[in-house]
Structure 1
Amino acid sequence: MPPLAQTPPDLECRDLIKDFDSFRAVDQVSFDVPQGSFFSILGPSGCGKTTLLRMIAGFQAPSGGDLLIKGRSMIGVPPNKRPVSMVFQHLALFPTMNIGDNVGFGLRQRGVAKAEIKTRVTEVLARVGLPNVAERRVDQLSGGQRQRVAIARCMVLEPDVLLLDEPLGALDLKLREHMKVELKTLQSAFNTTFVYITHDQSEALVMSDNIAVMNNGRFEQIGTPHDVYHAPQTAFVAGFVGDANKIDAQVTAVTDGMMTLSTQNGASMRVVGADRALAEGTPAQLFLRPEAIALLPSGADAPEGANIQNGTVETVLFNGANSTVTVKDVQGGLLTVALPQTGGFANLQKGDAVRTSWQPDQARCYAAAGAG
């Protein structure tokens, strides 16, 4: 009996390259996006993520490599012939058209009959939670409603892949937080593959099934939000995704996978090296999440095996559910600690004596740039 044929990913990129004269914006990027998944490309401005998205959409031609949708190469296929739709940051809704006409615009361009357009527009507006707005004007809707109209305009075309180019960037903070949940809910409801680009780590972490972290035209890591956050594979990922204390140090000893490091100020700490074990004498960068650090009263006992430093409180910033505390150790180094309001330090003040404690397996350590 012949083996069952595997369904190809909705999107495949194979060694994709984009050159602008002597500048390489996208450098041999390869990845797959399975059907019905939410895939985010996360990176700083100028890393190449928008260029990559524009190649997927067909607005720019690759300089090399291949790009397939549903197993079919899209090289040379114009944008209007690709089974993709795109939501832009500024939405690009037509202010002179009502909502129904905005949503049905692409169908009219394809020559779909008026009766079918009306039916499909009504259905898709209901699915995005806007069943009675077809006759309203764009300026009569809230920012979140306009966002859903922009998605409806794309989804009515039944694309295999929906591309989203930082669509929440123009929204205020509270609405942006709300739309994170809405977008993920809509993606699940339509079961359509979303490819989402952003420089906002919180958007990627909240919504994505998988995240590709991009830097200087390359993917540094592809993984689940949990893996990217808790097991970053490179120093760039550790520093870019989430908050982290970055500590410059040097490896002074390596024993059975445990590294001992010394900071520039002379503080000593131990880190589980695992597969990142570095040789003695190697300059290193250590990344430690603020929430991985426990704050203890001065003189209090710390858990066995923990790294411990005595210090004094420099700043306390109240953030609602928790506070951000900066502690200066006796060598002059600074650590940022995420302190829950239930942690027993409700009246913590600048100058208070405290101890910081963290376990050796809580930090990530990498060779310093240029080391080795």
Structure 2
Amino acid sequence: MTPDLECVDLVKRFGDTTAVDNVSFSVPPGSFFSILGPSGCGKTTIMRMIAGFLDPTTGDIRIKGGSVLDTPPNKRPVNMVFQHLALFPMMTIAENIGYGLRRRGMSKPEIARKVDEALERIGLPGIGARKVDELSGGQKQRVAIARCMVLEPDVLLLDEPLGALDLKLREHMKVELKALQAAFDTTFVYITHDQSEALVMSDQIAVMNAGRFEQVGTGQDLYYRPETPFVAGFIGDTNRWSGRIEKAEGGTLQLRTESGLAMRASGAGLAPGDMAEIFVRPEAIRLAATAEGLAGFDNHLSGTVTSILFNGAASRLLVQDAAGETLEVTLPQSGEFDRLKRGDMVHIGWGAGQATCFATGAAGAR
């Protein structure tokens, strides 16, 4: 199956600065693909090259199998939703949605029909006569998408479109955007620095850092099977230690941290004497009132509760171990530890298979 979008060996330099460094990826038809990374990593540069606003230094961009490098932005079969939406406040909703169709010379009856269809598909029928400033933030987002989708692009580009919304509306719009993508059955390419947006909405996510893709995969792949230290630390919350490998047997490693703790973790390609980093998710750590309650766990520590961070189902404990390091632990919802308070002593443990280890200086540890 020919990808809707394919970028091949993309490089973009600005003088001596390399913003995008040999990036390749493909996006299957009808999928939701996100590029996730911190500010300045190069993700917006990639999107602007796809849209035609920037030319790559080297590499190719193909849509439906054909290169678009020589195609100007207004002739490419893509459209773009910007963070600030760029809706025209002097126009009605119908005039906003039909703007591109008028520019194409379509007849008024056909424009009216397509605008009405678009309003139905975004769940806002009958509001065509209203003005932009009469709409909520979420409604404006949907109108901006409808204005792009009536032009029937092969690929819709979304440049951090939720960034200007308040938290509650952003959470709502994550679900809305995924539903709209399915309703239009169009390929969406989405860029964001917000991992929650990418994890909730995407079929595939590319994690980008310093101009390169660290890993491309599903949200589950990135969260549970990170391939680089950067991905392990960037996706989700994690506890992190540095140390030296003491033993390596059958895929299980024993590491001595800089503070003197002995830990066991899974990992490959590491040998005794190697410097390494170990990552453990807060939800992988188990709590017990006594050390005996952690029998069978490869790693166990005792520590003092320094803070309780209540956030409903995502509540956390901060626990300081004997070496003075602070760990983040997901608080069980069973009620067993509801009476925990600052200063309490707790015992914590986790299995070697729930700890991921990478060589210090491995690809992605930038």
TM-score range, shorter chain: over 0.9
| Deviation, structure 1 residue 333 | 2.1
* Equivalent residue in structure 2 for 1:364, among 352, 356, 364: 356
Cα pair distance change 1:45/1:339, threshold 3 Å: same
Matched, 1:249 2:235: no
After the TM superposition, which of the residue ranges 66-75 and 306-315 deviates more from structure 2?
306-315
| Deviation, structure 1 residue 298 | 2.9
* Equivalent residue in structure 2 for 1:298, among 273, 290, 295: 290
Aligned to 1:285: 277
Aligned to 2:319: 327
| Deviation, structure 1 residue 344 | 1.1
TM-score (norm 2): 0.97
Gaps of 5+ in 2: none
Q: Output one character per residue of 1:123-177: Cα deviation in whole Å (capped at 9) or x when no partner.
A: 0111000101100000000000000000000000000000000000000000000
Cα pair distance change 1:350/1:277, threshold 3 Å: farther
Aligned to 2:4: 10
Question: 1-side partners of 2:185 and 2:335: how far apart?
Answer: 41
Question: 2-side partners of 1:69 and 1:369: how far apart?
Answer: 37
* Equivalent residue in structure 1 for 2:162, among 146, 168, 177: 168
Question: 2-side partners of 1:81 and 1:303: how far apart?
Answer: 65
Matched, 1:60 2:54: yes
Query: Does the CA contact (< 8 Å) of 1:254 and 1:277 recur in 2?
Result: no
1:301 match: secondary structure: helix
* Root-mean-square deviation over aligned CA pairs: 1.2
Matched, 1:81 2:75: yes
Matched, 1:72 2:44: no
Q: Output one character per residue of 1:228-270: Cα deviation in whole Å (capped at 9) or x when no partner.
A: 1110100000011111111111111112221100111111011
Query: Does the CA contact (< 8 Å) of 1:300 and 1:355 recur in 2?
Result: no
* Equivalent residue in structure 1 for 2:301, among 288, 298, 309: 309
- Give the total of aligned pairs: 363
Cα pair distance change 1:215/1:192, threshold 3 Å: same
Gaps of 5+ in 1: 1-6
Cα pair distance change 1:67/1:322, threshold 3 Å: closer
Aligned to 1:154: 148
AA matched with 2:84 = H
TM-score (norm 1): 0.96
* Equivalent residue in structure 2 for 1:205, among 199, 206, 221: 199
Question: 2-side partners of 1:167 and 1:347: how far apart?
Answer: 42
AA matched with 1:140 = E
After the TM superposition, which of the residue ranges 286-295 and 192-201 deviates more from structure 2?
286-295
* Equivalent residue in structure 1 for 2:120, among 99, 116, 126: 126
Percent identity of paired positions between Structure 1 and Structure 2: 61
AA matched with 2:315 = S
Query: Does the CA contact (< 8 Å) of 2:297 and 2:349 recur in 1?
Result: no
Question: 1-side partners of 2:336 and 2:284: how far apart?
Answer: 17
Q: Output one character per residue of 1:259-294: Cα deviation in whole Å (capped at 9) or x when no partner.
A: 100111111011122xx3411111111111111111
Aligned to 1:215: 209
| Deviation, structure 1 residue 351 | 1.2
| Deviation, structure 1 residue 303 | 4.2
Matched, 1:351 2:339: no
Q: Output one character per residue of 1:87-122: Cα deviation in whole Å (capped at 9) or x when no partner.
A: 000000000000000000011111111111010000
* Equivalent residue in structure 2 for 1:42, among 26, 36, 39: 36
Aligned to 1:267: 261
2:272 match: secondary structure: coil
Aligned to 1:183: 177
